[in-house]
Amino acid sequence: MSNPVLLIADPNTARLAALIRRCEARAGVTVLGAATPGEAYMLIESHLPRRVAFSAEFAEAVEFDGLADILTMIDADVSIFGPLRHRTGRHRQFATPDEMLAHLFGGLQPARGPLRAEAPAAPASGPVGSVILMGASTGGITALETVLSQFRADCPPTLIVQHIRPGFAEGLVRRLDQLLTPRVVAARDGDPLQRGTVYLACEADRHMGLIMRGGPRIRMIAGAPVSGHRPSVDVLFSDGAALADRLEVRAALLTGMGADGAQGMGALRRAGGLTIAQDRDSSVVWGMPRVAAETGAASEILPLSRIGKTLLTRESQRLRRMS
């Protein structure tokens, strides 16, 4: 099994470098360092650290609570070292870096295996005439929470591809299911789409798409990465485009690096679907939505706060042409 990953976050770069050097002699573990909230977010998302230690200065930053919430999703142990101006009982606290390091390395076991997938969704109780598709990467977890917080218990079935490392997606499913009104589940091959359900692509070795077989269903597709990713947003959006003559399809491409999703979104727009890209100001990284905007794939470019309501209320080009 892979080595457990530990993360130390400290804006004092000299102290951070010294702490990392002290950890280098430890065998069987991987120790990473972050000097800014952005660096910490990227490392958390890409490496799923087992334990994370924040300096007091870092823990008093406005971004700390959001990072700590993400770590809760993956069951990471969070501690703080150094004197805090405002003490908190939420996380274990240590007065010195020495005490923190002793805790960080104490009693480590081999890396956790992946969680088992969710149980299959129950069959849909009625016909599904519309579907919402979303894709995101860097910064996408918070963006998804913002968009989905506006969804009702009877929202259209919603399929999401979020670029994250294996093992992280199951924790995201649990968190979103606890926070949101709709039910959130891990997508499974053959699942019939239901209103009021959000499906997250959790299988790192398969793409997620759509197929019509007695109504719209999830299909999980083996294959090479597309646009550099598996699962790929482009695959999901392309499947949506193929079904846009039979379904009302609405899609949003949220914050993230690269271009995954832009090509599929272009196909979906040409097929008559509603296509939305997150705007620059509200994106953590304006990469994927930027490409969609610049290539004309997005019919609308909106701030994050407006995307959820628009997905729920705006008609697609196809329906507008039919009305």
Catalytic machinery residues: 137, 163, 260
CA–CA dist 18, 38 (Å, integer): 21
Which residue type occupies 271? A
Token pair in block for residue 300: 């609308």
CA–CA dist 273, 240 (Å, integer): 8
CA–CA dist 96, 93 (Å, integer): 9
Token pair in block for residue 38: 């952005």
Is the C-alpha dihedral spanning 262, 298, 247, 154 positive or negative?
positive
Which residue type occupies 48? L
